[in-house]
Structure 1
């Protein structure tokens, strides 16, 4: 009987609770339900309103990075399978062979460019030891700086290498030219201020500067990390290989077929077909250079200042893009080219225009060496940034209180960024076929 009594008492208590709930007024039930809820936003809304810490945002977006790599892998796995089923090689081997054409000699050229950098230090050392005069040293430095840029480009033009090796040598020569120009300019500036060459010349600092991912020479040295993180570096290598593979497939599957038939395709069809692959390639190239390669070199050299770019994708004006897109080049242009123009008494807007022209000439030189012909297409496109900077800054000052205008300016900026390279590819691919 005791178990039965307990069962009866339990049912009786439950029925009493149900009766209490049923006898409560509708208003009390509604109030009870509301008090158990919260006023909450979705994850994206909270991120947009800038609630929470940076760690919360990174934790919330943890899976997006992985899903992007998974989508890339699945999509390009489809390309590999389709090519194999149609009796083709999994990847375009012909373009791969041209890309690594005569690789040992290209690596040797890179080594010669790096080794010849010490000739500038040697000239200044001779001046320090009073073996050569200051005037003769200045002449030798300028002649050597001119040859330092011209000779590798002349070698590429005479050897008739394919596009990828030619671009690699021209870009490497230009990069080291900027480094040495920065070194010479800063040493001369401090020497004119009264600092002796004895305290300015440091072979260890100069050697580190040549391999560090920076273009501005610092007499006081650079911030250094405590140790080399091999796991992090290995991760960057794996990411770089993955990015190169994806970029190679985009190039061979979507871009090269259009380049090879550019003369038979209407220019409008060429642009609208190529603009999306070009945009994706552009973004992947940015990640490869500024997030993977520069961080890789920084990790190997334990270079501490790794602000290689800022949030350029939020740019609403072109001068903001120039400041944030490529910080090493921007720092070089401001501290070597722009500052020198201002020191010579040039007005601010003229100094800015000269700086952009200097940068556009070097970019045009790389393309001229790569495609074996001198044109001013890229230079003209880059020089259009000068009036665009002026116009967009005026519009931004007028409309800066409304967020919608910033969004419109950012959309205009992205269209300019994607359309410009696509038009250049159209022009150069058609000229390549004509010649």
Structure 2
């Protein structure tokens, strides 16, 4: 049995390597008609096929499964450590998980806003698009097309502004804010994809066809797309034959376990170090030690977030919806170039950026300006990554933006010809250092804002890092 699994794994790796060497082969399988219709130089479209996630395949191999068991064992040790600490230090078992309760606080307000956001996409976007598409069968006024385009852009702007205003007014804690902001961006990208893909079909639809085909998609297709684990709209997706509910439950259980894993990491390695922010934290010696001390826990948080969201959470929803294409990521951990790492880390978002940013720039400016498309993708991705942190933390401290759009973008060209496996070591060292810097600097700024007195007005206080300008004489430790 072990030899059969190893043989399957070797075939799987071989297929992945062929795809990496010739990416267009992925779009040619079973879609020769689509390929024939493409003009010379035109970039391929996203094609959905039935396939399992990479880790789902790998976890069938006993050696990889053992690594998974090691992480489970570490989680159990963290739990035992907390239990023993509570009994010895406090004389009783506490297990109040106060950090989780605080981070996900005001949850009813979160759910209320989430429901409003979902309803707006259902009750505003689809009816509006349906009305435009049906009325266009009788009149194809270009002026009305631009009017409806203006209405759609106004909706997207309002959808971006109103939830942030709600978060600010109710002062939601970080994890609750992350839920809202990520859902906000997810729905905005989905709505954009639906309108983009369907609008072109409506515009090309001929009134003399005498059929409804080519007009507005059915509401059921739109509803399925809103909850499916993809950001690219299609009328039809490959589907599995049945739902395995035990697989759904196990994936949600893994998400819950990852939540507690993250709690233990912050409770043991982050909060005790930075809680009592003072002058000593910003000395070069202490800062350097803090960065190196945060490298391992910061990278662990990266692993856990990847496994919880891109593997467990998306696979759970894919299974419930019988969504067949589950290539939400590729083997990014084997990357020898940063360009490959960015393409394979989060395939779901990468597909959207490729389809609606890179391809559009390529189509407008031509193949000689690919670098402009690449720069646009990096800039937009960096802006919205930073946007999530700014709204969630409640302050502007663009460390992630500088690292993403600066060092991260530069490393794409530095490792462009990376064929030696030593470049994989370089990638991992860079990830460890980068995650250490992120955890350290954002933790310092967070606790500086908890402990240091406000010395400027609200607007400038939002923009200027308080860890740089802290009045240590007036500090009050908690």
Structure 1 length-normalised TM: 0.80
Higher mean Cα deviation, 299-308 or 187-196?
187-196
Could you tell me which residue of structure 1 aligns to residue 425 of structure 2? Answer: 411
Which consecutive residues of structure 2, in runs of 5 or more, have no partner in the other structure?
A: 14-56, 450-478
State the partner residue of 1:244. 259
Deviation at residue 117 of structure 1 after TM alignment = 0.7
In the other structure, the counterpart of 2:410 is 387
Q: Is the deviation greater in 310-319 or in 82-91?
A: 82-91
Counterpart mapping for 1:33-432 below 5 A: 58-87=61-90, 90-91=94-95, 93-118=97-122, 119-130=124-135, 133-194=144-205, 199-219=215-235, 221-263=236-278, 264-265=280-281, 266-345=286-365, 347-384=369-406, 385-394=408-417, 396=418, 400=419, 406-432=420-446
Task: Call closer, same or farther: CA 1:232–1:416 in 2, change over 3 Å.
Answer: same
Offset of residue 60 of structure 1: 4.8
Cα 1:92/1:138, change in 2 over 3 Å: same
Quick check: which one's helix share is greater?
Answer: 1
Q: RMSD of the TM alignment (CA)?
A: 2.7
What CA deviation, in whole Å up to 9, does each residue of 1:206-230 have, x standing for no partner? 00000111111113x1111111111
**Structure 2 CA distance, aligned partners of 1:109 and 1:195?**
40
- Structure 2 CA distance, aligned partners of 1:304 and 1:57? 19
| C-alpha distance 301-55 of structure 1, shift in aligned 2 (>3 A) | closer
CA shift, 1:323, in A, is 1.0
| Per-residue deviation, 1:89 | 5.4
Residue 434 of structure 2: SS of its match in structure 1? helix
Q: How far 1:418 moved relative to its partner? A: 2.3
Q: CA deviation at 1:183?
A: 1.5
CA displacement 1:165-207 (0-9 Å, x = unmatched)? 1122111111111111111222233344447786243211100
- Deviation digits for residues 223-266 of structure 1, max 9, x if unmatched? 11111111111222222222222221112121222232354331
**Cα 1:89–1:172, aligned 2, differ >3 Å: closer, same or farther?**
farther
Q: 1:422 to 1:139 in 2, by over 3 A?
A: same
Paired with 2:277 and 2:245, the residues of 1 have a C-alpha distance of 45
Higher Rg:
1
**What secondary structure is seen at the aligned counterpart in 1 of 2:128?**
helix
**Rounded Cα–Cα distance in structure 1 between residues aligned with 2:108 and 2:237:** 32
- 2:326 partner SS: coil
Q: CA deviation at 1:71?
A: 3.8
Partner of 2:215: helix, strand, or coil?
helix
Runs (5+) with no aligned partner, structure 1: 1-42, 401-405
- In 1, are the aligned partners of 2:103 and 2:173 still within 8 Å (CA)? yes
Whole-angstrom distance in 2 between the partners of 1:126 and 1:214: 26
Conserved? CA contact 1:262–1:270, under 8 Å? no
Tell me the residue number matched to 1:24. none
Whether the 8 Å CA contact 1:295–1:306 is kept in 2: the answer is yes
CA contact (8 A) 1:123 1:140 kept: no
**Matched length:** 380
**Is 1:91–1:249's contact at 8 Å kept on the other side of the alignment?**
no
Q: Does structure 2 conserve the Cα–Cα contact (< 8 Å) formed by 1:298 and 1:304?
A: yes
CA–CA distance in structure 2, aligned partners of residues 51 and 129 of structure 1: 49
8 A contact 2:160–2:184 mirrored in 1: yes
Report which structure shows greater RCO (CA 8 Å, sep ≥6): 2
Deviation at 1:64, TM superposition (A): 4.2
Change over 3 Å in CA distance of 1:239–1:232 after alignment to 2: same
Tell me, in whole angstroms, the C-alpha distance in 2 between the residues paired with 1:100 and 1:55: 33
Call closer, same or farther: CA 1:239–1:191 in 2, change over 3 Å: same
Cα distance change of structure 1 residues 162 and 61 upon mapping to structure 2, 3 Å threshold: closer
2:365 aligned counterpart, secondary structure: coil
